[in-house]
């Protein structure tokens, strides 16, 4: 008998006690239906304050397919994902949210494409059930801006729900930056990509951990970690304004020489000063964003700390 390939399912979980039971049942069913493969269910407990870890441990005692990484505190989903990628052992890895917004039933289809030779099979949302129109519009605009500012193709309406071949996982492990943006990294690594469409379900239970402040931060992080286009924009804009100002100075000098000067023009002067002051502060802010990133990266801190790791397939 040939050795079965292993699919690792990576589940970042932060305060997910309410959904774990549903999730686990559906994963077990999936594994039962997809018996040509071995499965590893790797939970990353991202410093949950509820019973999440306890529940995962209780599953792990009964089920040797379960592995878990318990992080030393809450690090955020991005970091939880790289912690998971560092610990998965499968030939392919599927990243999936704990809250069942990503239907596990899609995984066999992903595996099928993977077997056909695709390295990164990602799920694209057809609909966004249970999300407000404001969230839809903001995310739509965000994708547009991000795509305009870079030459790497960005996958639209795509989250982190995807199957990654081992070589993608190995590639992603090389990305050790501390301010992470997985979406950008998935695009950056390239390899053979395949899109499949699906309907995103509303959360099965519990609450989203995102709010608009967090999403705004994520958006700014996304742009600044992906592209230096904002710096270029401020350079170009600065150039244009300086050029216009230069023309205006020539005009002023010529006019003064021909007609003499008077002291009028206070409002227009204020307007120009305030406008330029605003632009300067904005540009400083943009530079600051990048300096901040340099500062954070040069510290070279570890991305996360592991409190406990239990491998799949062996008794603890
Ligand atoms: N998550 C995490 N750490 C965090 C926040 C979220 O590991 O600090 C996990 C969470 O448990 C879930 C996934 O990331 O499995 C997506 O989180 P959520 O459903 O809150 O985000 P949304 O679906 O609203 O974008
Ligand atoms: Mg969710």
Question: Which residue's CA is minimally distant from atom 6 of ligand 1?
Answer: 77
Higher pLDDT, residue 112 or 203 = 112
pLDDT tens for each residue of 53-65: 999 999 998 988 9
Confidence category of residue 1, pLDDT binned at 50, 70, 90? low
Q: What are phi and psi of 36, to 5 degrees?
A: -80, 0
- The number of angstroms, rounded, from the C-alpha of 177 to the middle of its chain's C-alpha atoms is 13
Sign of the torsion angle spanned by Cα atoms 282, 286, 288, 289? positive
Query: Is the CB of 182 within 6 Å of ligand 1?
Result: no
The ligand that comes nearest to the alpha carbon of residue 12 is 1
Specify which of 28-42, 195-209, 273-287 reaches the highest per-range mean pLDDT: 28-42
Per-residue b/e over 61-88, b at no fewer than 16 CB within 10 Å?
eeeebbbbbbbeebbbbbbbbbbbbbbb
Residue 205's pLDDT band, with cuts at 50, 70 and 90, is low
Ligand 1 atom showing the smallest separation from residue 13 Cα:
11
Q: Is the CB of 212 under 6 A from ligand 1?
A: no
Residue 77, ligand 1, Cβ within 6 A? yes
**Residue 92 pLDDT greater than 80, yes or no:** yes
- Can you tell me the distance from the alpha carbon of 286 to that of 292, in angstroms, rounded to the nearest whole number? 10
Decide if 313 is inside a domain: no
Question: Which residue, by CA, sits nearest to atom 21 of ligand 1?
Answer: 208
CA distance 266 to 167: 64
Report whether pLDDT(316) > 60.
no
pLDDT tens per residue across span 227-273: 788 888 888 888 888 888 888 888 888 888 888 777 777 777 877 88
Question: Between the CA of residue 168 and those of 114, 153, 216, 246, 270, what are the distances in Å?
Answer: 12, 17, 28, 52, 55
Looking at the fold, whether 59 and 181 belong to one and the same domain comes out as yes
208 lines ligand 1 (CB under 6 A): yes
201 plus 266 within the same structural domain: no
Confidence band, pLDDT 50/70/90 cuts, at residue 169:
very high
Query: Is the CB of 88 within 6 Å of ligand 1?
Result: no
Residue 38 shares a structural domain with residue 65 = yes
28 lies in the same domain as 173: yes
Environment class of residue 23 by beta-carbon count within 10 Å: exposed (0-12), middle (13-18) or buried (19+)? Answer: buried
More confident residue, 28 or 264: 28
pLDDT tens for 106-153 read 999 999 999 999 999 999 888 666 667 887 788 788 888 878 877 788
Is residue 17 in contact with ligand 1, taking CB distance under 6 Å?
A: no
pLDDT at 130 (0 to 100) = 64
> Is 144 inside any structural domain?
yes
Query: Which structural domain, as residue segments, surrounds residue 17?
Result: 6-211
pLDDT exceeds 60 at position 315: no
Is residue 122 exposed (0-12), middle (13-18) or buried (19+ Cβ within 10 Å)? buried
Is the domain of 135 the same as that of 33? Answer: yes
256's tokens: 């003064």
Q: Report residue 204's pLDDT band, with 50, 70 and 90 as the boundaries.
A: low
Region 261-287 average pLDDT: 79
In a domain, 284, yes or no: yes
Position 12 scores a pLDDT of 95
Regarding whether 139 and 244 lie in a shared domain, the answer is: no
Ligand nearest to the backbone CA of 13: 1
For residues 4 and 276, the answer to whether their CB atoms sit within 8 Å is no
In a domain, 221, yes or no: no
In a domain? residue 311: no
Residues 73 and 205 reside in one and the same domain: yes
Residues 110 and 121: their CA atoms lie apart, in Å, by 6
For a ligand 1 pocket test, name from 209, 212, 222, 304 the mutation site with the most ligand atoms within 8 angstroms of its C-beta. Answer: 209
Residue 222 belongs to a domain: no
pTM comes to 0.76
Tell me, in angstroms, the distance from the centre of ligand 1 to residue 111's CA.
Answer: 24
User: Pick the residue with more confidence: 93 or 154?
Assistant: 93
Please report the pLDDT score of residue 238 as a whole number. 82
Cα of 207 from ligand 2 centre, angstroms: 8
Listed in sequence order, the residues at least 6 apart from 305 whose beta carbon sits closer than 8 Å to its beta carbon are 71, 72, 73
We report the CATH number of the domain holding residue 141 as 3.90.550.10
Measured distance CA(265)–CA(113) in Å, rounded: 69
Q: Does any ligand 1 atom lie closer than 6 A to the CB of residue 95?
A: no
Write down the pLDDT at residue 73. 93
Q: Are residues 21 and 104 in the same domain?
A: yes
Which pLDDT value is given to residue 148? 82
Q: Residues 245, 102: one domain? A: no
Task: Note the pLDDT of residue 128.
Answer: 65
- Calpha distance 174→169 (Å, rounded): 9
Residues 178 and 242 reside in one and the same domain: no
In a domain, 309, yes or no: no
| Residue of 110 and 156 predicted with greater confidence | 110
Count of the separate structural domains present in the chain? 2
Q: Which atom of ligand 1 is nearest to the CA of 14?
A: 11
Average pLDDT, the chain: 85
């Amino acid at each position: 008998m040939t050795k079965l390939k292993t699919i690792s399912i990576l589940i970042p979980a932060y305060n997910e006690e309410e959904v774990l039971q549903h999730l686990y049942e559906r994963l077990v069913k999936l594994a039962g239906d997809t018996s040509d493969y071995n499965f590893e269910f790797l939970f990353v407990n991202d410093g949950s304050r509820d019973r999440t870890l306890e529940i995962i441990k209780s599953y792990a005692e009964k089920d040797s397919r379960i592995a878990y990484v318990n992080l030393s505190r809450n690090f955020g989903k991005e970091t939880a994902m790289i912690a998971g990628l560092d610990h998965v052992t499968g030939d392919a890895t599927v990243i999936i949210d704990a809250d069942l917004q990503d239907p596990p039933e899609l995984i066999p289809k992903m595996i099928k494409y993977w077997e056909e030779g695709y390295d990164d099979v990602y799920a694209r949302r057809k609909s966004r059930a249970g999300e407000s129109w404001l969230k839809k519009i903001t995310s739509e605009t965000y994708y547009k801006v991000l795509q305009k500012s870079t030459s790497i193709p960005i996958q639209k309406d795509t989250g982190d729900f995807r199957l990654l071949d081992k070589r993608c996982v190995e590639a992603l492990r090389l990305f050790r930056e501390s301010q992470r943006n997985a979406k950008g990294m998935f695009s950056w690594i390239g390899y053979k990509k395949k899109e499949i469409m699906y309907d995103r379900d509303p959360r099965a239970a519990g609450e989203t951990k995102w709010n608009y402040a967090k999403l705004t931060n994520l958006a700014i992080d996304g742009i600044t970690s992906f592209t230096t286009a904002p710096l270029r924009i401020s350079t170009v804009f600065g150039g244009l304004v300086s050029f216009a100002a230069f023309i205006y100075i020539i005009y002023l000098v010529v006019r003064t020489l021909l007609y003499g000067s008077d002291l009028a023009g206070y409002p227009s002067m204020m307007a120009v000063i305030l406008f330029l002051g605003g632009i300067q502060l904005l540009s400083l802010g943009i530079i600051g964003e990048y300096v901040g990133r340099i500062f954070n990266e040069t510290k070279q801190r570890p991305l996360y700390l592991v409190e406990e790791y239990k491998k799949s397939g062996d008794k603890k």
